[in-house]
């Protein structure tokens, strides 16, 4: 139906008019953003001059006055006194391979290269949303890659003890029990529990007594009676969970067995001799070592942090208290004292005869330290999950671990991805501290490099540090940009 | 969060012991007892190992070493110290040095952070660009690297004392650090100090009185300028009246060194600059987030009420932004304090550096690490207690 309207009512859209002459164009942009008020004008001029001076000094230092090629310090020394000296990039060029690999044997550097390429591919596969096979990729990254990297970098052929194997199996069996123990129905779970308790008891016996009750060699590993028993009971406990799960329909019963089998495999793979020349960890260095420490710390701190965060949120006072004390202790002290503690006290805490190498000590310190920070980030996520989700999970009849695994943690972790990445960035920067306890990471090799008498010039130190700073910056800036990207991508569910 | 449902005997057929283990209430208790037993066992095992190891390595234990002669020198001394003094005194100097550099760094980082944080929100292209570049650069570089850059890259390549760079007020900058004049106070200078204290007291009283009057009558009285007059003006007047009882000792360049004045060591300068520049970048982001968290409606409502720009900032934006800013600011202050331990890398004698010397000389790693942990935990606890108190004061009062 046509509506009767007065003649002065417009019946069509009036075309929009162009903006007034003073409100558009480059002049307007400049006026509005630089010279809006007298104060603004003064600030613009002062800071503009400052910025121009800054850019000019940086350019002239890094490019115009810089020395790019040369074999030793002579190239970087300016002929006349009083002339301004630029960067000595020749120094970075000469020491570049050291900055990357430390003292890793030159003919074996294809091994770290290979590890780096595989790592980059797997990370890219996991990080870029459009690449398929995410779950396979994640398995490869977290299950297979660590063993591959360890074997390639060290050359394997370790003297694996039965106690160590038993320890791996213990961790695996407990993981399997926590994740799937409640999925096993009724009484069938009992063998699993009993086997687990037996395993813990055996492990305690291994630790307490260095009793040599006969040795059994299998797959290159020397077992004592107790470690054999421990390994067997780990297997029994996992199989029992699987049997229990088989009573129910629609569950993948192979899952609880995987961790234990993987643990056994790790032990065997590490003991295996592949004909690779062993490279001792004190030859590792440079960016390679920085990445190893950072990635190991990240990988270890995430599961530990999740456990600590859950413990801190627990209803059980003893567990909560222990977790709070643990977290607050590590958060209250500087990493450097933690590293000192790991370097000087860890050997004292272990029974005589057990010795950790220096890298492993640093890794233990870094992992515990960052786990505490990670725990606080994850706790934030746990607290942000509405109570209804916990109650809903409980009313479905899910056990504690089931509800955490299937309902709470997936949501909580997703919420705190930016915080987790921030912790990663912090950890990555903190790895530079291992230089203080004598490891030659990227910063450490640069530090050693500019004390080299062949390269002492006034600008060597600054050049080396700017280079190292740029490498660190690239990684950290990249991570922070990626976290922002993920945040935007995952935000969809909450947008209105 | 354990599920506190009554599940006792859910599996019916199981006997008494099984029912006990399947009951979530008892299972929790059993789990806790198991954890405690495991921890005690672990602790006992670690202590046992440590005692064994110490005995076999012939290392003494206990804190007796604190009384013994240290035999080393420390480069920055807030209190007198010589190599004849005890390890305990050396460690106290370490603690004081940690506190000095942390306090200085916190002040500088806060100033820098607030300026840059506000600068990042500026409408001015150049200021915003500079602030962004600063924040994104320093947030993504390890603090240790920044410290080493200042120390080895900048301060170490400054000219020798003989050719030191002159700065205003008779100061000199050289590779031995910053040499500033010292003020030598003479008799009668106490009057100026007393005037300063009196001025501060009077200013506090004035603020208190004006607030009370405003609550009662609604009238505001000028506070800022009279307060400045009291705090700054009064001491100056007294200072002039008592006949300028101060003399400056200026550093003078001799052939090899700078004589006289007060020397700020390059180690301190490098650590101080690096800590403030590094932490400043984080504080800037916190400040920016805090200001952005105050919704635009608040500013609009305030200007609808007729408040001026300065008043809006002072009464509406800043108090609300502060609530968001304070908790993360606290953790930045604590981070800065903990990062001051990185001074070890350039030889700044803080607690960790002095402690590691003691550790190397005595071999008593357990005791030294324990001292470190206790001191840092105490500092952390003290700072966070204070900031929590401050946070409660500015917190939004809800139902």
Residues B194 and B324 in one domain: no
> Which residue range is the domain that position A411 belongs to?
283-453+469-496
Within 8 A of B28 by CB-CB distance, chain A residues are 315-316
Q: Cβ of A394 under 8 Å from any chain B Cβ?
A: yes
Q: CB distance from A335 to chain B under 8 Å?
A: yes
Distance from CA of A219 to the nearest CA of B (A): 31
Is residue A44 less than 8 Å (CB to CB) from chain B?
A: yes
Contact across the interface for A466 and B153, Cβ inside 8 Å: yes
A178 part of a folded domain:
no
Which residues does chain B have within 8 Å of residue A40's beta carbon, measured at their own beta carbons?
Answer: 123-124
Chain B contact set for A425 (CB, 8 A): 140
| B189 in the same domain as B333 | no
A399 close contact with B: CB closer than 8 A: yes
Residue A163 within any structural domain of the chain: no
Contact A348 B18 (CB under 8 A): no
Q: Is A432 on the interface with B (CB under 8 A)?
A: yes
> Could you tell me the CA-to-CA distances from A265 to A198, A279, B88, B377 in Å, in that order?
22, 22, 52, 42
Q: Could you tell me if B299 and B164 lie in one domain?
A: yes
Q: Are A476 and B123 an interchain contact pair (Cβ–Cβ within 8 Å)?
A: no
The answer to whether residues B105 and B216 belong to one domain is no
Number of structural domains found in chain A: 2
For residue A50, is it within any domain? yes
Q: Which residue would you say has higher pLDDT here, B240 or A194?
A: B240
Does the residue B82 lie in any domain? no
CB A129 within 8 A of CB A114: no
Residue B23: domain span: 16-57
From A197, which residue of chain B is nearest by alpha-carbon distance?
B34
The residue of chain A with its CA nearest to that of B157 is A458
Subunit contact B152:A319, Cβ cutoff 8 A: no
Residues B124 and B200 in one domain: no
Torsion of CA B55, B59, B60, B62, to 10 degrees: -90
Taking CA–CA distances from B39, the nearest residue in chain A reads A322
Distance from B367 to chain A by nearest Cα, in Å? 10
Spatial distance between the Cα atoms of B278 and B145, rounded to a whole number of angstroms: 10
**Whole-angstrom distance between the N-terminal and C-terminal Cα of chain A?**
36
Q: What tens digit of pLDDT does each residue of B40-80 get?
A: 888 888 888 888 877 777 776 777 777 777 777 777 777 77
How far is B67 from chain A, CA to nearest CA, in Å? 22
Q: Break chain B down into helix, strand, coil percent, rounded to 5.
A: 70, 5, 25
Domain-ending residue, one of A39, A64, A89: A64
Assess if residue B210 is contained within a domain: yes
- Final residue of a structural domain among A64, A82, A111: A64
DSSP letters of A383-417? HHS-HHHHHHHHHTT--HHHHIIIIIHHHHHHHTH
Return per-residue pLDDT of chain A as tens, 496 residues: 556 677 788 878 888 888 777 677 777 777 777 777 788 888 888 888 999 999 988 888 888 777 777 777 777 776 555 455 778 888 888 888 888 888 888 888 888 888 889 888 888 888 787 877 877 888 788 777 888 888 888 877 677 676 777 777 777 877 777 777 766 665 556 666 666 676 676 666 666 555 555 566 666 666 666 677 777 777 777 777 777 776 666 666 777 777 778 787 777 777 777 777 778 877 888 888 898 888 888 888 888 999 999 988 888 888 888 888 888 888 888 888 888 888 888 777 777 666 677 888 888 888 889 999 999 888 888 888 888 888 898 898 888 888 888 888 888 888 888 888 888 888 898 888 888 888 888 888 888 888 888 877 777 888 888 999 999 999 999 988 888 888 787 766 554 4
CB contact under 8 A, A332 and B152: no
| Averaged pLDDT of chain B | 80
User: Among all residues of chain A, which has the CA nearest to that of B351?
Assistant: A337
Residues B316 and B366 in one domain: yes
DSSP B85-107: SBHHHHHHHHHHHHHHHHHHHHH
Which of B303, B280, B290 lies closest to B391 in space, CA to CA?
Answer: B290
- Average pLDDT value for residue range B108-113: 93
Query: Is the same domain home to B169 and B210?
Result: no
Residue B81, domain member (yes or no): no
Residue B366 included in any domain: yes
Residue B106 maps to a domain: yes
CATH number at A389 reads 1.10.3720.10
Chain B positions in Cβ-Cβ contact with residue A458 (cut-off 8 Å):
157
First to last CA, chain B: 27
Cβ neighbours of A403 in B, within 8 Å: 3
Q: Which residues of A touch B13 (CB under 8 A)?
A: 187
Task: Label residue B133 by pLDDT band (50, 70, 90).
Answer: very high
Task: Please report the pLDDT score of residue B104 as a whole number.
Answer: 92
Say if residue B286 is in the same domain as residue B375: yes
Task: Give chain B's domain count.
Answer: 3
The reply to whether residue B129 touches residue A44, judged by beta carbons under 8 angstroms, is no
**Same-domain pairing of B154 and B194:** no
Q: Does any domain span residue B75?
A: no
Residue B284 in any domain: the answer is yes
Q: What ipTM does this complex have?
A: 0.81
- Whether residue B243 sits in one domain with residue B282: no
Phi, psi of B348 (to 5 degrees): -75, 125
- pTM comes to 0.82
Residue A276 lies in a domain: no
Domain assignment present for residue B71? The answer is: no
Interface touch B52/A347, C-beta < 8 Å: no
Q: Are residues B346 and B239 in the same domain?
A: no
| Total CB pairs under 8 A between chain A and B | 192
What is the model's pLDDT at position B109?
94
Does B142 share its domain with B103? yes
- According to the model, what pLDDT value does residue A470 have? 92
pLDDT computed for residue B8 by the predictor: 40
Whether residue B207 is predicted with pLDDT greater than 60 in this model: the reply is: yes
In this predicted structure, the answer to whether residue B304 has a pLDDT above a threshold of 90 is yes
User: Scanning every residue of chain B, which has its alpha carbon at the shortest distance from the alpha carbon of A31?
Assistant: B124
Residues of A whose CB is below 8 A from B342 = 334, 336, 433, 436
The domain boundary, picked from A36, A64, A92, lies at A64
Please tell me the distance in Å from A317's CA to the nearest CA on chain B: 8
């Amino acid at each position: 139906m046509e509506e009767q309207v007065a003649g002065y009512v417009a019946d069509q859209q009036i075309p929009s008019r162009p903006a007034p002459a003073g409100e558009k164009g480059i002049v307007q942009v400049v006026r509005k953003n630089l010279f809006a008020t007298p104060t603004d004008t003064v600030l613009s001029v002062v800071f503009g001059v400052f910025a121009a001076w800054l850019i000019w000094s940086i350019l002239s230092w890094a490019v115009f006055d810089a020395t790019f090629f040369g074999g030793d310090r002579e190239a970087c020394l300016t002929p006349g006194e009083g002339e301004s000296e630029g960067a000595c990039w020749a120094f970075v060029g000469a020491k570049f391979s050291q900055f990357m690999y430390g003292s890793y044997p030159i003919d074996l550097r294809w091994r770290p290269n290979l590890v780096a390429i595989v790592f980059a591919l797997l990370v890219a596969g996991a990080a870029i949303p459009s690449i398929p096979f995410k779950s396979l990729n994640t398995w490869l990254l977290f299950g297979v890659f660590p063993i591959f990297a360890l074997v390639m970098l060290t050359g394997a052929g370790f003297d694996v003890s039965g106690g160590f194997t038993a320890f791996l199996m213990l961790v695996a069996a407990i993981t399997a029990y926590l994740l799937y123990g409640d999925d096993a129905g009724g009484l069938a779970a009992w063998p699993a529990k009993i086997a687990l308790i037996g395993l813990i008891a055996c492990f305690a016996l291994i630790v307490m007594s260095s009793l040599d009750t006969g040795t059994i060699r299998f797959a290159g590993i020397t077992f004592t009676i107790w470690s054999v028993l421990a390994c067997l009971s780990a297997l029994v406990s996992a199989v029992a969970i699987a049997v229990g799960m088989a009573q129910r329909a629609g569950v993948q019963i192979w899952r609880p067995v995987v961790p234990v089998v993987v643990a056994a495999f790790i032990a065997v793979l590490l003991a295996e001799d592949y004909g690779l020349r062993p490279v001792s960890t004190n030859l590792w260095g440079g960016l390679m070592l920085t990445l190893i420490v950072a990635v190991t710390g990240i990988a270890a701190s995430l599961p530990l942090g999740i456990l600590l965060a859950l413990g801190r949120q627990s209803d059980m006072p003893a567990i909560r208290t222990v977790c709070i004390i643990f977290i607050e202790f590590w958060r209250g002290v500087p990493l450097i004292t933690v590293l000192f503690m790991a370097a000087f006290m860890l050997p004292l805490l272990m029974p005589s005869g057990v010795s950790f190498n220096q890298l492993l000590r640093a890794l233990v310190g870094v992992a515990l330290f960052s786990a505490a920070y990670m725990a606080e980030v994850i706790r934030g996520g746990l607290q942000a999950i509405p109570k209804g989700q916990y109650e809903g999970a409980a009313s479905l009849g899910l056990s504690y671990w089931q509800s955490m695994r299937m309902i709470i943690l997936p949501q909580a972790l997703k919420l705190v991805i930016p915080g987790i990445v921030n912790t990663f960035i912090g950890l990555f920067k903190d790895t530079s501290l291992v230089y203080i306890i004598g490891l030659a990471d990227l910063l450490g090799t640069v530090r050693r490099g500019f004390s080299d008498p062949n390269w002492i010039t006034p600008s060597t130190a600054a050049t080396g540090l700017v280079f190292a700073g740029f490498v660190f910056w690239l990684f950290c800036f990249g991570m922070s940009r990626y976290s922002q990207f993920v945040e935007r991508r995952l935000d969809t569910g909450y947008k209105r | 969060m354990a599920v506190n449902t009554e599940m006792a005997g859910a599996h019916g057929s199981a006997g008494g012991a099984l029912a006990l283990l399947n009951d979530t209430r008892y299972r929790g208790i059993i789990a806790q007892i198991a954890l405690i037993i495991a921890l005690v066992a672990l602790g006992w095992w670690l202590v046992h190992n440590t005692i064994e190891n110490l005995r076999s390595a012939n290392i003494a234990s206990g804190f007796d070493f604190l009384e013994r002669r240290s035999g080393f020198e420390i480069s920055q001394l807030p209190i007198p110290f010589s190599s004849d003094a005890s390890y305990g005194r050396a460690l106290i100097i370490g603690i004081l040095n940690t506190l000095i550099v942390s306090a200085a760094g916190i002040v500088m980082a806060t100033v820098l952070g607030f300026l840059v944080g506000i600068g990042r929100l500026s409408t001015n292209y150049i200021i915003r660009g500079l602030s962004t570049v600063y924040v994104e650069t320093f947030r993504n570089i390890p603090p240790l690297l920044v410290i080493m850059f200042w120390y080895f890259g900048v301060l170490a390549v400054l000219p020798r004392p003989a050719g030191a760079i002159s700065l205003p007020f008779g100061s000199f900058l050289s590779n031995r650090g910053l040499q500033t004049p010292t003020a030598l106070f003479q008799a009668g200078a106490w009057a100026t100090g007393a005037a300063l204290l009196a001025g501060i007291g009077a200013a506090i009283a004035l603020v208190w009185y004006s607030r009370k009057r405003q609550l009662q009558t609604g009238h505001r009285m000028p506070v800022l300028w009279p307060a400045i007059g009291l705090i700054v003006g009064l001491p100056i007047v007294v200072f002039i009246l008592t006949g300028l009882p101060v003399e400056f000792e200026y550093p003078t360049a001799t052939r090899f060194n700078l004589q006289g004045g007060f020397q700020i060591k390059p180690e301190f300068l490098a650590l101080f600059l690096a800590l403030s520049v590094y932490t400043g970048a984080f504080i800037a982001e916190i400040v920016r987030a805090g200001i952005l968290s105050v919704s635009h409606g608040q500013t609009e409502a305030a200007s609808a009420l007729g408040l001026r720009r300065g008043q809006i900032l002072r009464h509406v934006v800043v108090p609300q932004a502060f609530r968001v800013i304070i908790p993360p600011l606290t953790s930045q202050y604590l981070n800065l304090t903990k990062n001051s331990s990185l001074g070890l890398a350039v030889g700044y004698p803080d607690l960790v550096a002095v402690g590691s010397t003691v550790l190397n000389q005595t071999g008593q790693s357990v005791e030294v690490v324990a001292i470190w942990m206790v001191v840092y935990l105490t500092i952390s606890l003290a700072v966070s207690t204070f900031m929590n108190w401050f946070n409660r004061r500015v917190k939004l009062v809800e139902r």
